Chain A
Amino acid sequence: MDNRTPLLSVKDLKQYFRINRKFTVKAVDGISFDIYPGETYGLVGESGSGKSTTGRSIIRLYDPTAGTVMFDGHNISGKLNTEEERYLRMNMQMIFQDPMASLNPRKKVSQLIAQGLEIHKLCKSQAEIDERVNQMLEKVGLSTEHATRYPHQFSGGQRQRIGIARALIMNPKLIIADEAISALDVSIQAQVVNLMKDIQDEMKTTYLFIAHDLSMVKYISNRIGVMHLGHIVETGTTQEIFNNPIHPYTKSLLSAIPHPNPKVEKKRIAMVYDKEAMGVDYLVGYAHILSDTHQVLATDEEYDKWSKEQSY
């Protein structure tokens, strides 16, 4: 067991949405994971896996249906009093997916970035606010001239940087990046990911990186959790997941990653994962522990079978 105390500890988190009397969507159905200070935890899955919902439940955009979320020693999953809420809002931030929709079109860039400072009254004067905004703009690689412009004047990558500046200016302990690069061009994705890595080196920020692109997740994450239909089916260090995947869903995801090598790519056939056909029920399986960090959700028979199978 890792001896450090986790910065974020999620235990058996459930997030259900009641659509009507007969139908409830179980977006997140009992997941547990820990994130340690200064690391990046990559949460991967396809659409419908519940990964975005997880991020939003943690940051309390939704009220969790069940389970506990401990953040830096504070329980943030139950009813929050003013002090706890303030602590949460100042120390945990989120970067959103859609650069077109994550910035208020009617606000100037400086107002957008300084929003957190103004809400929590962290600065004594307008001059101090402007100073910090300019600092942030430089840090994310934008020009200070941009402070008086409006979002529609910028490209997707630039807008995402503004979103990062907005989150960073609060100096948060944890940043949840909810598919923060999915809507960007590949070359811009690299820019933004590099920026996030630089920031982490400098400010020791912790990231929860939610994404569906495994190759980018591999590049930025220390540990990875693979989600499918509201459950974490496998979790481990990046090495463990990529070199020794056990769960067939993980294997199918890995086999689907495209290689930028035409000779290899043209011959690659992706592996198919059919949950129904294989008779897998996530509610029956439990976490099998391979090592301190590597766990798989499976029944005993499944585990025996899968660990012997060939890698993808």
Chain B
Amino acid sequence: MATKDLVQTEFKADDFKFAYDRNAKLIDKTYNSTSYIKDVFSNFAKNKGALIGIVIIVIIVIMAIIGPYFNAHTYKSILIEQASLPPRIPLLENLGIFDGTRNGIDIYLKKGVSDIYYWFGSDTQGRDLFTRVWAGTRVSLIIAVSAVLIDIFIGMIYGLVSGYFGGKVDILMQRIAEILNGIPQLVIVTLLGLILPPGITSIIFALMITGWIGMSRIARAQVLKLKEQEYILASKTLGARDFAIIFKDILPNIFGQIIIMSMFSIPNAIFMEAYLSFVGLGVPAPLASLGSLISEGYKSITVMPYIILSPIIVLALLMLSFNLFADGLRDAFDPKMKQM
């Protein structure tokens, strides 16, 4: 305010007395209450794509858990007389879609089961596609998440050790990883398929064999970035052992990046499993996974496209939403938000 405004200011009696004892020691009490986590959350929330992504993921996961129990069918129950029925959903059938017709003919009527509804239709063997799709989603998710978790575990430790110790250790470990990476994944999986019994664990094992390499590279890159930071040097001068430094100082600081990388890996793993199933190396029948459903549906794609359509849509949505989510997560953690 300007000096001339002073005449209007009211002064109190003790205004011009000293507030402190000049000799008292001033204790420093200031600190910022800005929360890193809050910033991350608000950044994330601004990203519409990421929000859509996580909503879709949550819906799909819930359906994968409870979907197979919606009706009396199980993923392997067969009713051969109700095979090859197109999708029929109550209420929507009145709008002319999902009304159980193919080429204008009401198949349900033709097979004499007008009072039954198959929301996603039934496949050529008479199994309920709705149940199978969600059971298959469940299997795909289990395989993908397990594979990624194991990848994180192995890859992270490998990358941490390799990057931290550097020198000959690093060179050796990286050469090994490169050699392993050079072998085509399909070859490894096929060989494993010959040795191991078919099943979910074998597929997880197969995916895990080469998947960890990408994770270890990320971990190693992060370690190299942090290795020369002064707080790591401080731990060394205080006498901390190497492994204590790796797990207590470095690991918590790279965890964010690892999480982001794994969010990106999940759609990769899902797709890999689908691909393996498609080429016949996937889960054994009658178990369903999104990939095996697509593989089966492929056989009747020209005549009955609905069989392949539902698993494809779920697969596509799953992959897209994980990518959107991971993208949003990565942007939210981006240091450029630490501006002020």
Contact = CB atoms under 8 A, between A and B. Distances in A.
- Whether A and B touch directly in their complex, counting CB atoms under 8 A apart, is answered as yes
Contacts of A170: 238
B339 to A, nearest CB: 13
Interface of A: 56, 59, 61, 85-86, 89-90, 92-94, 96-98, 101-106, 115-116, 119-120, 141-143, 145-146, 149-150, 152-155, 158, 163, 166, 170
B22 interface: no
Contacts of A102: 230-231, 234
B123 to A, nearest CB: 51
Given A102-B230, A119-B244, A152-B36, A143 B238 contact: no
A115 B249 CA distance: 11
5 contacts: A92-B237, A97-B230, A104-B235, A115-B235, A153-B31
Contact of A89 (B229, B238, B244, B252): B238
A153 B230 contact: no
A158 B31 contact: yes
A142 B32 contact: no
Contact of B234 (A90, A94, A105, A149): A94
A150 B35 CA distance: 9
Given A61-B233, A120-B239, 11 more contacts: A59-B237, A98-B230, A102-B231, A104-B231, A116-B238, A119-B238, A141-B25, A149-B31, A155-B30, A163-B234, A166-B234
A146 B231 contact: no
A306 B200 CA distance: 83
Interface of B: 25, 27-34, 36, 229-231, 233-240, 244, 249, 252-253
Given A98-B230, A119-B240, A104 B33 contact: no
B238 A93 contact: yes
The 9 closest A-B pairs by CB, nearest first: A89-B239, A102-B230, A106-B252, A96-B230, A104-B231, A153-B32, A116-B238, A101-B230, A153-B31
A93 B236 CA distance: 10
A98 B234 CA distance: 12
A305 to B, nearest CB: 42
Given A142-B28, A166-B234, A115 B33 contact: no
B27 A143 contact: yes
Nearest to B240: A119
Nearest to B229: A101
B32 to A, nearest CB: 4
Given A96-B230, A101-B229, A106-B253, A152 B237 contact: no
B29 A143 contact: yes
Contacts of B233: 56, 61, 94, 96
Nearest to A169: B238
Nearest to A90: B239
Contacts of A143: 27-29
A105 to B, nearest CB: 7
B29 A85 contact: no
Contacts of A166: 234, 238
B237 A119 contact: no
Contacts of A103: 231, 234
Contacts of B36: 150, 152
B278 to A, nearest CB: 43
A59 B36 CA distance: 34
B238 A154 contact: no
B253 A158 contact: no
A40 B30 CA distance: 31
Given A119-B244, A146-B31, A101 B239 contact: no
Nearest to A92: B237
Given A89-B239, A104-B249, A120-B239, A154 B234 contact: no
A89 B245 CA distance: 15
A153 B338 CA distance: 12
A149 B29 CA distance: 12
Nearest to B239: A89
A59 B230 CA distance: 14
A185 B233 CA distance: 24
A177 to B, nearest CB: 12
B253 A61 contact: no
A94 B237 contact: yes
A119 B236 CA distance: 11
A160 to B, nearest CB: 11
A151 B29 CA distance: 14
Given A61-B233, A103-B231, A119-B244, A152 B29 contact: no
Contacts of A90: 239
Contacts of A92: 237
B33 A153 contact: yes
Nearest to A176: B237
A105 B34 CA distance: 14
Instruction: Count chain A CB atoms within 10 A of each CB in B27, B34, B237, B253 and give the residue with the most.
Output: B237
